[in-house]
Amino acid sequence: MIEIKNLTKSFGDKKITRGLDLKINNNDFLAIIGRSGEGKSVLLKQIIGLIKPDAGEIIIDGQNISELTKIELQEVYKKCGYVFQFAALLDSLNVFENIGITLLENDYPPDQVMPEVIKRLKSVGLSEDVLYKYPAELSGGMKKRVGLARTLMLSPQILIYDEPTTGLDPITVKLIHELIKKTHEDLNATTIVISHDIEIFKYAKTVAMLHEGKIIYTGPTENIWDCQNPYIYQFIRGLEEGPITKVY
């Protein structure tokens, strides 16, 4: 579904991605992990075209997006849904308007949009009671769910989540992870989750580790615990950097 080849991106003198390679199979559930500041969000934004890479290729469903016209790009990105780290809801719009915004802006009548909005609300575990609430009236977990419901309006084939559990309590983190997994299974979508929370290992099929601008590990999630790369070994166990002492 997605293949990234020799991706390079810098901001001024700061190099973010340094010849990064990554292949994401169709219908996979991939967790991309790494420490804060490694450039995980920048990588995602390059994949969906919010940030243009300096060099390299991003191939989505067989098409190199750097070679496409704006109209062709729009068709590719219709396949993609992006859930922002802090939901990115519009404060001046209520939940109904936030979720249905794409259809409403294309002149669909509200009475036609409403059933679709309610359907997506139910799919993320929210009731019609929140339809006319504004973002300021929602908890952090509810905002994340509304953001996901908005993304699901166009039934994307690729779902991308940027740090979906940031700032949430442990119970809500579990609920969000379970919702991501359920959505992945219901849509049979290719799912990519950026995270520094290793709890995602309980849900993802594949994990990729980003370090110093490159992917240093890709493989089945259960196998990462056997990886002997010192950086990975320390990261997933929450150990400080330095000499490794294994405890059995």
In a domain, residue 247? The reply is no
**Are the C-beta atoms of 188 and 216 separated by less than 8 Å?**
no
Contact 86, 148 (CB under 8 A): no
Distance, in Å, from the CA atom of 66 to the CA atom of 201, rounded to the nearest integer, reads 32
- Give how many domains the chain has, as a whole number: 1
Q: Is 246 contained in some domain?
A: no
Mean pLDDT, residues 38-59:
89
Q: What's the CATH number where 228 sits?
A: 3.40.50.300
- Please report which confidence band the pLDDT of residue 138 belongs to, taking 50, 70 and 90 as the band edges: very high
In a domain, 248, yes or no: no
Q: Helical H runs in 29-169? A: 40-47, 70-77, 95-99, 101-105, 110-123, 140-152
Structure-token match 């166009």, residue found: 154
Read off the pLDDT of residues 101-110 as tens digits, 9 standing for 90 and up: 988 888 889 9
Dist CA 184 CA 30 (whole Å): 11
- What strand order describes the sheet that includes 14-24? 14-24, 2-11, 55-60, 63-64
- 7 within some domain: yes
The span from the CA of 44 to the CA of 87, in Å, is 15
Task: Render pLDDT for 177-217 as a digit per residue (tens, 0 to 9).
Answer: 998 999 899 889 999 999 888 889 999 999 999 999 999 99
Give the pLDDT of residue 239. Answer: 63
Domain carrying residue 73: 2-237
Residue 244 domain-assigned? no
**Residue 207: both structure tokens together:** 């994990």
Each residue's pLDDT tens digit, 211-246: 999 999 999 999 998 888 888 888 888 765 544 444
Query: Residue 243 domain-assigned?
Result: no
Q: Which of 200, 119, 187 is nearest to 157 (CA)?
A: 187
What's the mean per-residue pLDDT of the chain? 87
- Looking at residue 248, its pLDDT comes to 28
In this prediction, residue 240 carries a pLDDT of: 56
Q: At what angle do helices 140-152 and 170-187 cross, to 10 degrees?
A: 10
Instruction: Give domain status of residue 56, yes or no.
Output: yes
Residue 49 in any domain: the answer is yes
pLDDT at 184: 93
pLDDT of residue 23: 95
Q: Please spell the DSSP secondary structure of 178-203, one letter per residue.
A: HHHHHHHHHHT-EEEEEES-GGGGGT
Please tell me which residue, 67 or 12, carries the higher pLDDT value. 12
More confident residue, 100 or 77: 100
- Mean pLDDT (whole number) for 152-179: 87
Would the pLDDT of 117 be above 80?
A: yes
4 three-state secondary structure: strand
What is the pLDDT confidence band of residue 76, given thresholds at 50, 70 and 90? Answer: confident
